[in-house]
């Protein structure tokens, strides 16, 4: 078992569990640990990183959801490096974009290109339950639209919920991770992150565009969807 010790401490903006997730991911990447490698038991990791079992449990849930680790019970069990699926590798490639210096505009350009496919799937496959949740999110968005923080987060929650309708796992996964990237890069920043001439994300006109998108999904109105998509496009406006 590796004797690697904790690296950098979590940043102040992180929870202890977030910091632990970052350190375990760094351990696997920096030491190039192969799938099936036994990282250690839960007790080993609590002692190694100086965290409580509850904190470790929280970090493990995130790591398992990301496909980074698998947990095996019984004698000889513990935490092991997981064999990552192509979709998980794709998600990690998106997350690594920040380190490679990709700008928000780079990601927005791709997101704009994917919007039509995501919205078409939402229009075709939405259920009554989807409609109810989308309308509730739209009502919330309307209330917080001009709040620079709450409006931002609610807007991206709405986009993720629309994408969740798609049965195309690759499209859904890629789109959601791009949204998460843009949202993370935009928190606490001004609209200068969106370096598009004449673009203002919190105008009443843009709110109406989101209302039009949801209405088109609800009504399964493809021409209305096309008009709303043109108005919604961030780049090239």
pLDDT in tens, the chain (237 residues): 433 444 444 433 357 888 898 899 889 988 989 899 999 999 999 999 999 999 999 999 888 877 789 999 888 889 999 987 666 666 666 666 666 667 778 888 888 889 999 999 999 999 999 999 999 999 999 999 999 888 888 999 999 999 999 999 888 888 988 888 888 777 654 444 455 445 566 789 999 999 999 999 999 999 999 999 998 886 444
**CB distance 179 to 160 below 8 Å:** yes
State the Cα–Cα distance between residues 12 and 19, nearest whole angstrom.
10
Take residue 98 and report the two structure tokens written for it.
């920040």
Domain ranges in the chain are 16-83, 87-232
CA geometry: angle at 104 spanning 213 and 139, to 5°?
30
Q: What is the SS3 assignment for 27? A: helix
At which residue do the structure tokens 């001004």 appear? Answer: 190
| CATH superfamily entry for domain 87-232 | GntR ligand-binding domain-like (1.20.120.530)
Report in angstroms the alpha-carbon separations of 32 from 35, 80, 81, 82, 130: 10, 13, 10, 13, 42
Residues 6+ apart with CB under 8 A from 206: 200, 232
> In degrees, to the nearest 5, what angle opens at C-alpha 19 toward C-alphas 67 and 152?
80
- Residue 107 has a CB neighbour count (10 Å cut-off) of 19
Give the domain 16-83 fold: Arc Repressor Mutant, subunit A (1.10.10)
Nearest-angstrom CA–CA distance, 114 and 159:
12
Question: Which letter does DSSP use for residue 69 in this model?
Answer: E
Name the pTM for this structure: 0.60
């Amino acid at each position: 078992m590796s004797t690697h010790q904790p690296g950098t401490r979590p940043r102040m903006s992180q929870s202890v569990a977030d910091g632990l997730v970052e350190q375990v991911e760094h351990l696997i990447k920096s030491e190039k640990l192969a799938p099936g490698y036994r990282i250690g038991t839960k007790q080993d990791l609590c002692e190694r990183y100086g965290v409580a079992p509850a904190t470790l449990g929280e970090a493990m849930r995130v790591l398992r959801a990301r496909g980074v680790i698998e947990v095996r019970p019984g004698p000889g069990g513990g935490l092991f490096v997981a064999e990552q699926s192509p979709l998980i590798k794709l998600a990690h490639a998106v997350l690594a974009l920040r380190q490679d210096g990709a700008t928000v505009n780079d990601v927005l350009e791709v997101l704009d290109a994917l919007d039509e496919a995501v919205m078409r799937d939402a229009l075709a496959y939405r259920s009554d339950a989807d409609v109810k949740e989308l309308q509730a999110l739209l009502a919330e968005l309307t209330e917080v639209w001009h709040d620079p923080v709450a409006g931002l987060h609610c807007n991206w929650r709405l986009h993720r919920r629309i994408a969740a309708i798609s049965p195309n796992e690759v499209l859904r996964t890629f789109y959601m991770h791009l949204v998460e990237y843009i949202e993370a890069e935009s928190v606490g920043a001004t609209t200068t992150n969106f370096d598009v001439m004449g673009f203002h994300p919190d105008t009443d006109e843009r709110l109406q565009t989101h209302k039009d998108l949801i209405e088109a999904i609800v009504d399964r109105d493809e021409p209305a969807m096309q008009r709303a998509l043109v108005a919604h496009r961030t780049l090239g406006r």
